[in-house]
Structure 1
Amino acid sequence: MRQLIGIIIAISFCVGISSSVKAQQDAQYTQYMYNTLSINPAYAGSREVLSAVLLHRSQWVGVDGAPTTQTLSAHTPITKNLMGIGLNITNDAIGPSRQTYIDASYSYGIEVGRESQLNFGIKAGAHLLDVDYSKLDIFDSTDPNFQSNVDNKFSPQFGLGALLFAENYYVGLSVPNVLETKHFDQSNNSNSNTVAKERISYYLTGGYVFDLSSDLKLKPTLLTKLTEGAPLQVDVSANFLLYEKLTLGAAYRWDAALSGLVAFQFTDAWMLGFAYDTDTTKYTNYNDGSFEVFLRFELFKKYNKMLTPRFF
């Protein structure tokens, strides 16, 4: 049955390149609160230190051809924390296709009152698409749509974002890519009469930190994603921070999945986190869930070391 689900994934991909229009989806994260730069360039520099995150996600474990994602992001403030720069590299694979995103971010902030800051961000980069049709079990080997692989097909990326934040809250609005890119059209492949379009996605994120006691904090967060031609995605989560070290939480992706999250701050510089998702759909019996693991490193200046680490 799991091989059958894998075949369905491959068929879905093939349908996406053999029909008139299909939407390409951004990579999905459960621990988006630790990986905000990937969806909002205004986050660059907001942690006030050099911060780097390495994340891996395996979705629908046990299913052949299921999505896997790896992300490396790093950002740092410049010019008294009012400007920031960042770099994000993402590798996203599903079935016979692999997509690589490489982009650089820049943010500029203005002080709002005594404790808040409003950042505006832009990012620009490249999207590379590879498709290896030899990974498919093609019924008709003479089908012209599958005669030539796609190798490093380039598309430009340009994104915008805004982030209002303070020590205990943040609200973000972003569009990771404002360009709609067509793949597999006749102008690029004379053997193909297909079009797959990368749709624009709009993100709204937010979070707040409640001090329940001197050793316990609660942070609820929200992520909403709106993409034309796709269902509205709503993620809500609640994380507890104990003794400034251990984070425990749960998340719910509307009509899709339930998740458990855990993270541990080993030192001021190093943090390790893990999340596990279980589907709430009819496909839950055909996979072993999804998981994410991330590692964060932060370089503190000696004169700017945080006594209380930021919770987001």
Structure 2
Amino acid sequence: MKLKNILCYVCVYLIGYVGLAQEGLPIYTDYLTDNYYLIHPSMAGAANCSKIRLTARQQWFGQDDAPKLLTLSANGRIGDSPSAIGGIVYTDKNGYHSQTGAYATYAHHLMFSRSEVDLNMLSFGLSAGFIQYQLDETSFLNGAPVADPIISGVVQSETNFNIDLGFSYHFLDFYAHATIKNLLNNSGVNNDIEITSNLRRYLISTGYVFNKYGSTWSFEPSVLFQYKEGTQEAIFDFNAKAYKQMDFGRLWGALSYRQSLDGAEYLTNSGTINSQKLQQISPIIGVNYNNFMFAYNYTHQTNSVVFTNGGFHQLTLGYNFSCRKERYDCECPAVN
């Protein structure tokens, strides 16, 4: 590859590198591992059980300082009331950038049906928390004198407060969610850059669970749309999920396809300018065994120009507790 091609690619990569490192809690496909609360605060306490979910994500095995993400979330109802609480802590390291965050959530669920047999529920949720950003510049200078006033040669750190709010609606086997994340402006450690000060992200997702009467199989197509206000990026997730009811619990699998509507240009070896849009495919397998849940998620980027051919691996462990009897006459795994 020619030097100018390499420099062009590195510049594009670094711009995305800085932006992603300060986006708040990253949104991958871990919400499909029975963890919609991770992206929608209104889903706190929506299910019959209180839930704990631990996820670990590793990108680009074999690469130094490859992105790593750990999240721990818990949510559940407050007794028999329609109110619920939840919490999320996470740490995300991306090269020289890292962030650590903690959120607390309050949600309220309104039943419109006369009984709990027919699911007709509107939910509201609000999350508030702090994110600490760090930029390690200690290796930038390598003993050389400071030539750029932007580079301090130390570990820069900044802590920001932010809030997420959203709502969910469940009607029998249908559901829809809408959430605004990072509602407030953000300073971070690059507060002179618009893409890191405005982290507002709009999420809309909807889906339906199909089940034939008497069958142990059910199928759930869904779609997630997200829009990043600061960078004006639009992304779609198209998901398909299948469940098999077993004596011990449930086996399930999913396939998610992510497509960005915005592309990036790059220079080819022949000197022509091409463009590509983010494309990812993520198969997921999981099992619910009694009150425990385990899932494995692999993400492969299908673009022709990538940083590495290695994929992204993610494990999710979960535990359900304080479970109540299934209340709704529907195949709605996120709620029942």
- In structure 2, distance between residues paired with 1:224 and 1:64: 32
Q: Does 1:170 align with 2:171?
A: no
Give the aligned residue type for 1:233.
Answer: I
- Which TM-score applies when normalising by structure 2? 0.78
What is the aligned partner in structure 2 of residue 102 from structure 1? 102
Cα offset, 1:265, TM superposition = 1.3
- In structure 1, distance between residues paired with 2:85 and 2:124: 12
Cα offset, 1:112, TM superposition = 2.4
Give the aligned residue type for 1:173.
Answer: A
- In structure 1, distance between residues paired with 2:321 and 2:172: 19
- In structure 2, distance between residues paired with 1:15 and 1:252: 22
What is the aligned partner in structure 2 of residue 89 from structure 1? 89
Q: Does 1:131 align with 2:152?
A: no
What is the aligned partner in structure 2 of residue 223 from structure 1? 224
Cα offset, 1:237, TM superposition = 1.0
- In structure 2, distance between residues paired with 1:138 and 1:231: 36
- In structure 1, distance between residues paired with 2:37 and 2:94: 22
Q: Is the 8 A contact 1:274 1:294 kept in 2?
A: yes
What is the aligned partner in structure 1 of residue 279 from structure 2? 256
What is the aligned partner in structure 2 of residue 159 from structure 1? 164
Q: Is the 8 A contact 2:65 2:94 kept in 1?
A: yes
Cα offset, 1:194, TM superposition = 6.0
Q: Is the 8 A contact 1:184 1:194 kept in 2?
A: no
Cα offset, 1:77, TM superposition = 0.7
Cα offset, 1:35, TM superposition = 2.5
Q: Alignment identity in percent?
A: 22
What is the aligned partner in structure 2 of residue 189 from structure 1? none
Question: In structure 2, do the counterparts of structure 1 residues 167 and 151 end up closer, same or farther at CA, with 3 Å as the change threshold?
Answer: farther
Q: Is the 8 A contact 2:158 2:189 kept in 1?
A: no
Cα offset, 1:167, TM superposition = 5.1
Q: Does 1:277 align with 2:281?
A: no
Q: Is the 8 A contact 1:42 1:163 kept in 2?
A: yes
Q: Does 1:181 align with 2:186?
A: yes
- In structure 2, distance between residues paired with 1:168 and 1:246: 19
Q: What 5-or-longer segments of structure 2 have no aligned partner? A: 260-277
Q: Does 1:289 align with 2:296?
A: no
Aligned length: 297
Q: Is the 8 A contact 1:99 1:130 kept in 2?
A: yes
- In structure 1, distance between residues paired with 2:70 and 2:322: 25
- In structure 1, distance between residues paired with 2:281 and 2:51: 28
- In structure 2, distance between residues paired with 1:251 and 1:15: 23
Cα offset, 1:67, TM superposition = 2.1
Give me the CA root mean square deviation. Answer: 3.2
Q: What 5-or-longer segments of structure 1 have no aligned partner? A: 187-192
Query: For 1:195-229, what per-residue CA distance to the aligned partner results, in whole angstroms no more than 9, with x for missing partners?
Result: 64242000011221111452111011211110121
Give the aligned residue type for 1:232.
Answer: A
- In structure 2, distance between residues paired with 1:209 and 1:292: 25
Please state whether the residue corresponding to 1:145 is helix, strand or coil: coil
Give the aligned residue type for 1:257.
Answer: Q
Query: For 1:139-171, what per-residue CA distance to the aligned partner results, in whole angstroms no more than 9, with x for missing partners?
Result: 965133232434542100111110112452321
Give the aligned residue type for 1:263.
Answer: G
Q: Is the 8 A contact 1:52 1:74 kept in 2?
A: yes
Structure 1 outlier segments of 4+, above 4 Å: 13-17, 135-141, 305-310
Q: Is the 8 A contact 1:219 1:239 kept in 2?
A: yes
Query: For 1:242-270, what per-residue CA distance to the aligned partner results, in whole angstroms no more than 9, with x for missing partners?
Result: 12421122110014111111001122x10
Question: In structure 2, do the counterparts of structure 1 residues 201 and 15 end up closer, same or farther at CA, with 3 Å as the change threshold?
Answer: closer
